[in-house]
């Protein structure tokens, strides 16, 4: 029980440049987090489903080259991964356009391999998932996922939930709110944001986010603010961790995903929560200086993980 398991979807990513040309890569919120975790030395497996096409094979090759475990990924004959396109404005803010309705991951919890897969999840040290992960599945699949999380926690695992809310993934907001509340009650660590809370629950007030997580008895929470700062709440403490300003923002894609990786890697290395929040800010600050979700390895910052961080 030393590995982290990240559950979710990776898609073909097309990034549009100012001249209209496109760059192809791969991305998805939990995949981005798993890749940055691997680069920070955390043993990590990615849990999804892919097709038997060349793009899926290329994904697996790239992930394995990054040190991500790919043994928990079934291949579905005839299926294709989802696709999304990123458009970025002059301020570095991005919009996403998706083609993903028939992606094989949506049937992950109906696969013949599901018993072996859930057993493997129950042997993880930490299971990481997001609001986007939960939006992929129908009610029966989500119930099986939540049952698996409960089994894993009973076996000693922790669960980390990133709120990462995309309205298009949830045609029924009442269902989304109920699922998120259930996720809050299930998680040991919640990585939330005021922006997500505003979109889903209608309040931009950080205190409203903190109160909601307190009512759900979340043991450890990070609430990212609209300004470059976050609340880190645990064991009765509430620290505000301010990020160093980034003047040359190029693309905010994967800022939250990389923050999650920096935070979780630091916590697993023994950093205190507030110090882990600072590590998350540092990694996200490096990521937003580059286009696309995944920055070059040479651009990875040197981060002081561990108790002395």
List, by residue number, the catalytic residues: 257
Which residues are bridge partners to 32 per DSSP?
Answer: none
Helix, coil or strand: residue 36: helix
Distance between CA atoms of 225 and 174, rounded to whole angstroms? 24
Residues ≥6 apart with Cβ < 8 Å to 29: 8, 130, 132, 133, 162, 164, 254, 256, 257
Helix/strand/coil (H/E/C) assignment for every residue in 125-175: CEEEEEHHHHHCCCHHHHHHHHHHHHHHHHCCCEEEEECCCCHHHCCCHHH
Select from 115, 148, 114 the least CA-distant residue to 129.
Answer: 148
Which residues are bridge partners to 96 per DSSP?
Answer: 86
Which residues are bridge partners to 129 per DSSP?
Answer: 161
Contact between 135 and 105 (Cβ < 8 Å): no
Residues ≥6 apart with Cβ < 8 Å to 153: 159, 186, 188
- For 141-159, letters b (16+ CB in 10 Å) and e give bbebbbebbeebbeeebbb
Which residues are bridge partners to 69 per DSSP?
Answer: 45
Contact between 73 and 60 (Cβ < 8 Å): yes
In 206-254, which ranges are continuous DSSP H helix? Answer: 206-215
Select from 275, 276, 295, 273 the least CA-distant residue to 286.
Answer: 295
């Amino acid at each position: 029980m030393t590995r982290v398991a990240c559950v979710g979807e990776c898609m073909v990513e097309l990034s549009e440049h100012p001249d209209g040309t496109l760059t192809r890569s791969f991305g998805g919120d939990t995949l981005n987090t798993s890749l940055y975790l691997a680069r920070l030395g955390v043993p990590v497996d990615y849990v999804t489903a892919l097709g038997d096409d060349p793009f899926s094979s290329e994904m697996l090759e790239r992930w394995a080259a990054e040190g991500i475990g790919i043994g928990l990924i079934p291949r579905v004959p005839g299926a294709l991964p989802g696709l999304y396109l990123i458009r970025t404005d002059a301020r570095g803010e991005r919009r996403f356009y998706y083609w993903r309705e028939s992606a094989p991951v949506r049937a992950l919890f109906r696969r013949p391999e599901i018993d072996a897969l859930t057993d493997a999840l129950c042997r993880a040290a930490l299971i990481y998932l997001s609001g986007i992960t939960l939006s992929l599945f129908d009610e029966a699949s989500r119930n099986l996922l939540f049952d698996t999380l409960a089994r894993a926690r009973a076996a000693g695992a922790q669960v980390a939930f990133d709120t990462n809310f995309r309205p298009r993934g949830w045609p029924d907001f009442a269902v989304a709110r109920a699922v998120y509340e259930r996720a809050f009650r299930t998680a040991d660590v919640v990585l939330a944001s005021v922006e997500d809370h505003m979109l889903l629950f209608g309040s931009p007030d950080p205190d409203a986010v903190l109160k909601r997580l307190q009512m759900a008895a979340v043991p450890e929470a990070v609430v990212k603010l609209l300004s470059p700062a976050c609340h880190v709440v645990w064991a009765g403490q509430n620290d505000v961790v301010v990020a160093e300003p980034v003047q040359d923002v190029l693309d905010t894609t994967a800022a939250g995903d990389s923050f999650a990786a920096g935070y979780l890697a630091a916590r697993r290395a023994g950093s205190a929560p507030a110090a882990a929040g600072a590590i998350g800010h540092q990694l996200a600050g490096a990521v937003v200086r580059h286009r696309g979700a995944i920055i070059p390895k040479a651009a990875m910052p040197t981060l002081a993980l561990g108790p002395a961080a």
